[in-house]
Structure 1
């Protein structure tokens, strides 16, 4: 992956790739990640809890944005690592050629990824079912999350628009009244 040389404004939407680097503690995933991102060799071991990096690059004449998540290798952070695995699109499983145990852990991490991605697939299946039911009922399907404030306002606004549309169909608004001048008797006439 070559970085883009001179800064250019790319108007096209960049392809995004969410990569997760996984291995046990002290194996070298952070050193590998930092070398890729910054072309810098890390010589000291500093346990990672979580680091994320972003890099724009061009591969095969196609620009893209890489979001790389460097996960914690220590076992006590396994739950956090599994959450990252659910959102990752690609995984770099790292082991040390000088540490046989780190090589043997690779299959454990692969199983963890497959288990996490299966949960993600369950969510996708539920999403598809929700969309299908919405089509059958001829209603709008929208996912919302209070936790991350996703589509909260939009869901309420969409519902208000549906209510308005329904009310207008059931009871169309009357045309604006046209006021006429006073007639000969001094009365006002309203014409609809």
Structure 2
């Protein structure tokens, strides 16, 4: 039995190595990214929040494919008409997320276009009580939130003077808590 297995393995080795060679990526660029987005979760009542994101990315220079793994901190009701919270029972809160995004980069002359889609998980609490001038929200730990998130985004990128990549973009997140739209900027190094 071992001889049959070894013979089959030797016969299939050229096929498997050819398949492996077809999967090998070209030149890879990698780095870190940091971004900030203003998010709006309730357009009718103008409730705004913010999202801070930090992570790393891999960019295949041959075909423009990008893989990014990030973590973020979301603070909903950070500013805007949040002085009326929680009297109007808005879904407010603080969340942490972990996301993986896949995208494609189209390189143009002066500006590049980056489109991405991904998946992730967000956890936190969506019930809050206005507490003070600095710390606007007091989170209720007895009612935690844990749900999926699907980020969709389009960015316009350009090269900075320091060799970094700067971008402005728009994103939309579909999740089990409250979908939101974000506008912001990213810095890639």
Q: TM-score band (shorter)?
A: under 0.3
Report the structure number with the largest CA radius of gyration. Answer: 1
Q: What TM-score results when the alignment is normalised by the length of structure 2? A: 0.22
Between structures 1 and 2, the one with greater strand share: 2
Q: What TM-score results when the alignment is normalised by the length of structure 1? A: 0.21
Between structures 1 and 2, the one with greater helix share: 1
